[in-house]
Chain A
Amino acid sequence: MHPYLHIENASMVFDTRKGKFVALTDIHLKVEQGEFIALIGHSGCGKSTLLNLVAGLLDPTDGVLLLNDREIKGPGPDRAMVFQSHSLLPWLTCFGNVYLAVERVFGAKESKKQLKARTEAALERVHLAHAMHKYPHEISGGMKQRVGIARALAMEPKLLLMDEPFGALDALTRASLQDELMRIVQETHATTLMVTHDVDEAVLLADRIVMMTNGPAATIGQILDVDLPRPRDRLALAEDARYHHLRHAVLEFLYQKQLKKAA
């Protein structure tokens, strides 16, 4: 059987004023349906570029990206994106922001009532039913990010793409949103690609951690299987030897194998 997401020999070269800049080269990755992949690496390693390639926001200079055996050409609602900067439209309520996405995906075949129900269900899933009719500037940063997640999930995407979704949040909010994301992914079996620079986040959430070498011409350095049983509990994991072993493996990659090049 073919893998769900198949990235083959992808590379990305940007034309800059100083000439060509090779951001990514020689990327091979196979992702199975329902898998949670964390992309980790030092900043500037091209992990967001890789995510944008999958999203279709960028076209690869070379190579092929296949989703469900079809080539990825341009962005589309089958790959929902959660942005670091939440990217909610400030003139729409939380409901309106999610509804815009729901309408785009299901508007052709479902009634207004069904679309409304989908929107409400998505906001309930992230525990925001009470703030449905508030505007983004009236809610906290963590709540905005939850609306962003609700918007992405409401589209029932084939792939959930997250670009450092919790990077701008404080540690406590981040932890509670990570727990919530784990629960939601468990419920929906969403295939997820998440860019992060947080080692704990990667080990806690991912089935596999894709570690990237430093740019320019970054590529996948190593892939780590996270074989911790689910559901995972952050408190129990804190005393789990396997967790520490995995964490150590990622840190070792980032700070011993990759640091020299970064310095």
Chain B
Amino acid sequence: MSAVTLDERPLKELMTAADTEPIPASSPAHASPRPRATPWLQTEQGRAFSASVGRLLRAGLPPTIGIGLFLLLWQLVSVSSGEPGLPGPARTWEAAVALIADPFYDNGPNDMGIGWNILHSLYRVGAGFGLAALIGIPLGFMIGRFAFLSGMMAPIISLLRPVSPLAWLPIGLYVFKETEPASLWVIFISSIWPILLNTAAGVTRVPQDYMNVARVLNLPEWKVFTRILFPAVLPHMMTGIRLSIGVAWLVIVAAEMLTGGTGLGFWVWDEWNNLNVEHIIIAIFVVGIVGLLLEQTLMWLAKRFDYL
């Protein structure tokens, strides 16, 4: 309760002061030649500034504490695992700085900079996902529009969708006889489902109102597609794309571990063979950060394409 009494005392003083001195400006005590400028933090601008700093602190505090605790836990695990043991945050950081200093060196196919490895993985995800989108989006539209086709495809999709991505790798290796198309095939087959199913669901969920407009205007099928179906489905499609790329990014690391050569997955496996645990941890962070950036970019894109 001390805070309250502290606050009350000056308030009372002020009230009595106001009684005795009705016009403070006229009193000699306030008649200094130059009025003191209000401190910057009390001006309009200053208040806005301190408010935004406060907001920033409130928003930034929980994640900062979370990351701090995570680093602490990591350090504890690393210390308790003995020597040589799991590298701690400091040792990993040093190794990361060294790696990032030269991201694009190229000492032959099995020893490349981290930048090359990221780009190789991204390329495979892009190519595999691109193929999945090329086939999944039109197929999704058709499945959504024609119930017959939907009925035809439903058992196949239900059967193939739960298959673990890597189970497709041997088929790819057998058919293509090479690792590169085989890993694209794995990305393709595992990332086609979210985009196909979301597009199809989007088509079936186009509000009847919009379709009635198309019917009353008797629009040709092409106009129905470009003016009504496609814009209405676009937000669903973007969700599908986001999920598909997420899956592709999950799968690529595993696929590259098996196919080898280049890419983040291969690098993780290679550093495991070298017993360079710092680099494995760095690879995990890199995979996480790139995945996060992909997700955020696609979220931003999806917002741009949403019509509301």
Q: Do A and B bind each other?
A: yes
A: residues with CB less than 8 A from B are 55, 57, 74-77, 79-81, 83, 85, 87, 89-92, 100-101, 104, 135, 137
From B21-29, B207-215, B259-267, give the one contacting chain A.
B207-215
Residues in chain B near residue A137, CB distance under 8 A: 308
Residue of chain A at shortest CB distance from B227: A100
Number of A-B contacts (CB under 8 A): 46
A-B pairs with beta carbons under 8 Å apart, 6 shown: A77-B218, A91-B307, A100-B217, A100-B227, A101-B217, A104-B219
- A76–B223 alpha-carbon span in the complex (Å): 15
Contact B216 A85 (CB under 8 A): no
Bitwise, B217-260 to A at CB < 8 A (1) or not (0) is 11100010001100110000000000000000000000000000
Asked if A89 meets B228 with Cβ closer than 8 Å, knowing A57-B212, A83-B212, the reply is yes
Main secondary structure, interface of A, reads: loop
State which size class the interface on B falls in: 10 to 19
Residues in chain A near residue B219, CB distance under 8 A: 100, 104
Nearest Cβ in chain A — how far from B121, in angstroms? 35
Nearest Cβ in chain B — how far from A235, in angstroms? 35
Residue of chain B at shortest CB distance from A161: B216
Contact A74 B218 (CB under 8 A): yes
Residues in chain B near residue A81, CB distance under 8 A: 212, 216
Contact B213 A87 (CB under 8 A): yes
Say which residue of B210, B218, B228, B232 sits within 8 Å of A104 (CB atoms): B218
Residues in chain B near residue A87, CB distance under 8 A: 209-210, 212-213
Contact A83 B307 (CB under 8 A): no
The 10 closest A-B pairs by CB, nearest first: A91-B307, A91-B231, A87-B209, A81-B216, A75-B215, A90-B307, A104-B217, A75-B216, A76-B218, A87-B213
- A76–B215 alpha-carbon span in the complex (Å): 7
Nearest Cβ in chain A — how far from B139, in angstroms? 23
Nearest Cβ in chain A — how far from B228, in angstroms? 7
* Most chain A CB within a 10 A radius of its CB, from B217, B218, B223, B232: B217
Contact A90 B216 (CB under 8 A): no
Knowing that A76-B218, A77-B218, A100-B223 touch, tell me 9 more A-B residue pairs with CB under 8 angstroms. A57-B215, A75-B215, A87-B212, A89-B210, A90-B307, A100-B217, A101-B217, A104-B219, A137-B308
Nearest Cβ in chain A — how far from B303, in angstroms? 14
Contact B213 A77 (CB under 8 A): no
- A87–B215 alpha-carbon span in the complex (Å): 12
Contact B212 A77 (CB under 8 A): no
Contact B227 A80 (CB under 8 A): no
- A75–B214 alpha-carbon span in the complex (Å): 10
- A55–B307 alpha-carbon span in the complex (Å): 29
- A78–B37 alpha-carbon span in the complex (Å): 74
Residue of chain A at shortest CB distance from B218: A76
Residues in chain A near residue B213, CB distance under 8 A: 83, 87, 89
Residues in chain A near residue B212, CB distance under 8 A: 57, 81, 83, 87
Residues in chain A near residue B307, CB distance under 8 A: 90-91, 135
- A57–B216 alpha-carbon span in the complex (Å): 7
Residues in chain B near residue A77, CB distance under 8 A: 216-218
Contact B209 A83 (CB under 8 A): yes
Contact A90 B308 (CB under 8 A): yes
- A79–B227 alpha-carbon span in the complex (Å): 21
Residue of chain B at shortest CB distance from A87: B209
Residue of chain B at shortest CB distance from A97: B213
- A11–B213 alpha-carbon span in the complex (Å): 25
Residues in chain B near residue A91, CB distance under 8 A: 231-232, 307
Residues in chain A near residue B216, CB distance under 8 A: 55, 57, 75, 77, 79-81
Nearest Cβ in chain A — how far from B230, in angstroms? 9
Nearest Cβ in chain A — how far from B138, in angstroms? 21
Residue of chain B at shortest CB distance from A86: B209
Nearest Cβ in chain A — how far from B226, in angstroms? 11
Within 8 A of A (CB), among B272-295: none
Residues in chain B near residue A89, CB distance under 8 A: 210, 213, 227-228, 231
- A90–B305 alpha-carbon span in the complex (Å): 12
